[in-house]
Amino acid sequence: MEALLAALADPARWRLVTLLAERPRSVGVLAQLAEARQPQTTKHLQTLERAGVVVSQRTGQRRVYALQPGPLRDLAAVLHRLADTADRGGGPRETYDRYGVGLHAERQAARAPGWADGRSFRFRRSLTGRPEQIWRHLTDASPLARWWAPDGLRVSEFVFEARPGGRIVLEYRDAEDLDDSDLVVGRAQGVVDDVRPGEHLAYRLSPLLPDGGLAFTGHLDFDLRHTETGADLEVHYRITDSTTDSADFIAGIEIGFGQSLDRLTAALAADPHNTDGTEHDSDTRSTI
């Protein structure tokens, strides 16, 4: 496939392919129609033949070339599969496009400090498992670090002190940046405000700008209502202290934090320490 792509990448060779798609032709005629020198045309045809996209046979004094449709059909099938993969409903490309729309709108709105103050988002999830396991996933650094990142990212540095006044430190990297050689995707810092085990957790978290300043302050309240199979979780995410440079961060809250909570839901459902591994439906709502 690589040889075929390399052969077709040259505009001169692509022109020969289009001419041969019409009918088999000799080297001399192909050179005339392509407005090229015959030795150069011969070299291009030989490259195409090595790639398997054309065949040739000698007829008297002429060498006649014909197109091999099979490799082109195989290439077309591969391209269709790639396009379908990228375009699948609910896939990463759809999320990318959604974020792009939100990003444009938020950048247009970020005209002055405080532009997003008072904005709030609400998230709800039905969690499965024993109460102590659910609470552990919300407050213990080890399980927290496994779910507290949007799709495609991972937590590379993490501090979460689950007590009033406790520190929060977060660093994100691309999930595929295994050796930490790529740029850090984002950093955030915050403080825990309230801890009522099994019932309520509140903290403030601020993404950091490249210069180390705070982009905005997010006030997050987690409330649990226990059920027969686990707990219903409601998260209220409220923004204050928004700067004009915070648009890119705020545009990703609904998608990114929602994905993190989806990972929390999945982690609890798969936790072998839970007595109930049944997964429940969840929904996300945003209010402005």
8 Å CB contact between 155 and 148: yes
* pLDDT surpasses 70 at 284: no
The pLDDT assigned to 274 comes to 67
The pLDDT score that the predictor gives to residue 257 is 97
pLDDT band at 90 (very low <50, low <70, confident <90, very high): confident
State the CB neighbour count (10 A cutoff) for residue 281.
7
Q: Write out pLDDT tens, residues 208-241.
A: 999 999 999 999 999 999 999 999 999 999 999 9
CA distance 41 to 54: 13
Residue 278 has pLDDT above 60, yes or no: no
Q: How far apart are CA 72 and CA 48, in angstroms?
A: 12
Structure tokens at 29: 């005629």
Beta-carbon contacts of 53 under 8 Å, excluding residues fewer than 6 positions away, are 4, 7, 8, 17, 67, 68, 71, 72
Q: What is the pLDDT of residues 161-177, one digit of tens each?
A: 999 999 999 999 999 99
Measured between alpha carbons, how far is 72 from 144 in angstroms, rounded to an integer?
49
Over the chain, what is the mean pLDDT? Answer: 93
What are the residue ranges of CATH 3.30.530.20 in the chain?
92-287
How far, in Å, CA of 3 to CA of 77, rounded?
17
pLDDT tens-digit profile of 233-269?
A: 999 999 999 999 999 999 999 999 999 999 999 999 9
Q: What one-letter code names the amino acid at 261? A: L
Which one-letter amino acid corresponds to residue 129? G
Q: In what order do the strands lie in the sheet with 217-226?
A: 153-160, 167-174, 186-196, 200-207, 217-226, 230-240, 120-128, 282-287
Residue 161 CB neighbour total at 10 angstroms: 16
Where residue 277 falls among pLDDT bands split at 50, 70, 90? Answer: very low
Do 207 and 251 contact (CB within 8 A), yes or no?
no
**Among 260, 252, 262, CA closest to 286:** 252
Residue 122's pLDDT band (cuts 50, 70, 90): very high
Section 178-202 average pLDDT = 96
pLDDT level of residue 287 (50, 70, 90 thresholds): very low
pLDDT at 89: 85
Beta carbons of 51 and 4 less than 8 angstroms apart = yes
Contacts of 102 (CB under 8 A, 6+ apart): 251, 252, 254, 255
Pick the CATH number of 92-287 from 3.40.50.720, 3.90.1300.10, 3.40.50.300, 3.30.530.20: 3.30.530.20
Label residue 281 by pLDDT band (50, 70, 90): very low
Instruction: Kindly report, as residue ranges, where domains of CATH 1.10.10.10 are found in the chain.
Output: 2-81
What integer pLDDT is reported at residue 271 of this predicted model? 82
pTM, whole model, 2 decimals? 0.79
Highest mean pLDDT among 27-31, 86-90, 268-272: 27-31
* Residue 282: band (very low, low, confident or very high) from pLDDT cuts 50, 70, 90: very low
Please check the confidence at residue 19 and state whether its pLDDT lies above 90: yes
Q: How far apart are the first and last CA of the chain?
A: 50
Which pLDDT belongs to residue 129? 94
Architecture label for domain 2-81: Orthogonal Bundle (1.10)
Label the pairing between strands 217-226 and 25-26.
Answer: unpaired
